[in-house]
Amino acid sequence: MPHLTVAILAGNSEKDIGECLESVSWADERIVILDTRSQDRTAVIAQEMGARVVPHKFEDFARQREFGLSLPQGEWLFYVDSDERATPALAAEIRRVIAEKEHVGWWVPRRNFIWGKEIRHGGWYPDYQLRLLKLGHAHYDLARPVHEVVILDGSAGYLKEPLLHYNYRSLSEFLHKQRQYISYEAAILLEKGIRPKPWTFFTQPAREFWRRYVRLQGYKDGAHGFLLCSLVAYYYGFRVSVELARLWAQKR
């Protein structure tokens, strides 16, 4: 059976790291890549549970994951975030596919639980993530510092069993994360030479809301769906455009 390592990106994750590590106890090796800015008991809990903790200075998410590719001892790496949980059914499927050696990467579906409710529409399910990687055949596009992109040397398949993702437990946590992400997204657009037009500040949020709430049926998630689609449209439509305009002004 091929050797499998589970790697977890963590920082100030003491509320999640224990349950996360327990859910991947079936792995041959567990590594916690610890953001050196972390100030809580994440490292202590992880070490007590038998995981290897590797501190690493955080620059962005892509570089953090690229660093993680250099750490495992075996053939395969499965990335899990501290707020995610792997089920026994997912564990069995992963063991099966890496033994069959059909692909060098596997997309994993996620079930997202936001503000205490599972969100099934608006683009939040199946929410495939390329997380199961054969080492030596994958690297991260460092031009995508957030919402990372994996470049594979070979083919990828799709798993059926999902990760459980408890990503935003409160509205304040959601807003805090989005404020972090918009600077990354605006920097990516700046690098591509994209300039916001005067009408972009209005049309982009409207387009994003229509895409998520109507085309991707976010309305089926009720009040949760409406609020979530509205906030995503605001942050990734309006706020990213504002930040992009600021970056262009600063560059001039």
pLDDT digits (tens, 9 = 90+) for 193-251: 999 999 999 999 999 999 999 999 999 999 999 999 999 999 999 999 999 999 999 98
pLDDT average, residue stretch 31-50: 95
Whole-number Å distance between alpha carbons of 30 and 7: 6
pLDDT average, residue stretch 59-64: 93
What domains does the chain contain, in order, with CATH numbers? 4-167 (3.90.550.10), 170-251 (no CATH)
Query: For residue 105, what are the β-bridge partners?
Result: 133, 156
- Judge whether 29 and 20 are in contact, CB under 8 Å: no
Whole-number Å distance between alpha carbons of 214 and 72: 43
pLDDT at residue 252 tops 80: no
pLDDT at residue 10 tops 80: yes
Whole-number Å distance between alpha carbons of 58 and 37: 8
- Judge whether 5 and 72 are in contact, CB under 8 Å: yes
pLDDT average, residue stretch 82-95: 97
Whole-number Å distance between alpha carbons of 241 and 189: 9
Structure tokens that stand for 201 in this block:
């500040």
- Judge whether 80 and 163 are in contact, CB under 8 Å: yes
- Judge whether 11 and 37 are in contact, CB under 8 Å: yes
pLDDT average, residue stretch 185-193: 90
According to DSSP, residue 87 is labeled: -
- Judge whether 1 and 36 are in contact, CB under 8 Å: no
Q: What is the pTM of this model?
A: 0.90
Average pLDDT, the chain: 95
Residue 143: predicted pLDDT: 87
Residue 73: predicted pLDDT: 85
Output the CA–CA distances (angstroms, integers) from residue 214 to 53, 117, 125, 136, 235, in the order listed.
44, 20, 15, 41, 18
Q: Which pLDDT tens digit goes with each residue over 128-181?
A: 999 999 999 999 999 888 889 999 999 999 999 999 999 888 999 999 889 888
Residue 8: predicted pLDDT: 97
Q: Which pLDDT tens digit goes with each residue over 101-111?
A: 899 999 999 99
Whole-number Å distance between alpha carbons of 223 and 211: 17
Q: Give the residue among 60, 1, 51 at the shortest CA–CA distance from 184.
A: 60
pLDDT at residue 94 tops 80: yes
Residue 145: predicted pLDDT: 85
pLDDT average, residue stretch 19-47: 96
